[in-house]
Every structure is written in C-alpha cells, then in structure tokens.
Amino acid sequence: MSRTAYLDAFKPAILFALITLAMMLRALPAPAAGAETLTVAGGCFWCVESDFESVPGVIGAVSGYTGGKSANPTYDQVSKGGTGHYEAVQITFDPARVSRETLLNMFFRSVDPTDAGGQFCDRGDSYRTAIFVSNTGEKALAEQAKKEAQRALGQNVVTPILKAGTFYPAEAYHQDYYKGNKLILTRFGPKRQQNAYKAYRKACGRDARVKQLWGSDAPFAGS
C-alpha cells in the first residue's frame, strides 16, 4: 500500500497544517558552527527523516524535493510525476560527531539501491534513490560509498550521484510526520499520526526488504 493512499484519507487536515509552516520554520534550531549537510533520496521521505534523526551527531533532517526543474513544487505535483524532482531529505550533521562517510554508508544500507523503479511499495521516478553532491570532495566520498555497497551486495547498485540543486522543503505536515500525535482518519480507522506512519511503513515492506538485502548490516530496519 503506497503512502499516497494514506494521505488521501486525511487531505482536509492539510490546509490547516500548511498554516503552521512559517511558525515551524522559525522554530527550527540554528545549525551548529561547522555543521554540514547531506542530501539523499531514499523513497518515502518520512522514513528517511525518521531514520537519520536517530543518528548521534545528526542535528536534524528536513523532508523536501530536489533534482528537478520545477520551482516550489508541491507534494501532489511531485508524486504525480513530471517535475523531475525526487522526494529527498536534507540531513544536517556535526562532522566532529559523525562523518559524511558513515552517513553515506548508513544510507545505502537503509534502502534498496538495486531498485531503479522506486522504493518498496512506492513506485515512480520521485521515489527513486539518489545522492546529491556539491563539490568534488563530496562526489568522491559518495562514489566510494557506492562502490563499497556494490561490493558488499555483489549486485549492481543503480543509485545515481547527482549535482546538488535547489532543495525545496516539503509542506509543514510532512515534517516530523513519523512522531506526530494528531488524530487522523485512515482506511483502517482513526489513528494517531505516529501510529499511521508505523502502519504505512510496515505495510510498505520497507524494513522487511532492507533486512532481506542487508541482513545484520541494516542500521534502521524496524525504526
């Protein structure tokens, strides 16, 4: 079952949530001095955000859209296709506590990098994996992590390494979705947002596939 199906059940709540966007952005903590960013696409951005915000040394993660040419895209536009954008997450981290190399290796082991058609139950271009880089140093690290993932799997890794462009934060209701406590209506009845997220993640088969592919090397399966 795709995430879009879950969203369709509570679209009336979206307008209210959008009103809080400006307040949420103002409330975001200021990055620590020397903080760096890593932008990745790993299918459902709720899941990627949830995974990486649990990593010591990660300051925060923001769900959004990047990789396409459409300015200020919406979730509906991106999920329907044609914008060229990926669902992505911009991870801000303290390199004194966790390295870019570590995060890249964790990223590959949290997705199915052999799947060129999407991730798990979410299909289509916007759900494909990718790593976005801003300079030659970042590109070299990403290429090394990709080679290591391919060696570890013994399979072809299709995740592209792309030049970073504008990152557009997603709508307010997508941010920190995995830990929200609002009561929403799903096809399974009323659920707290965080419980709806867990039900979606399980139904989508994300953790099952990652465990099948990576075994004990999977860092987040079950989160």
Active-site annotation, residues: 44
* Contact predicate 156/150, CB 8 Å: yes
Residue 3 to residue 186: CA distance in whole angstroms: 11
Structure tokens at 144: 């090394």
**Unique residue bearing structure tokens 């954008």:** 85
Q: Which of 203, 132, 207 is nearest to 166 (CA)?
A: 132
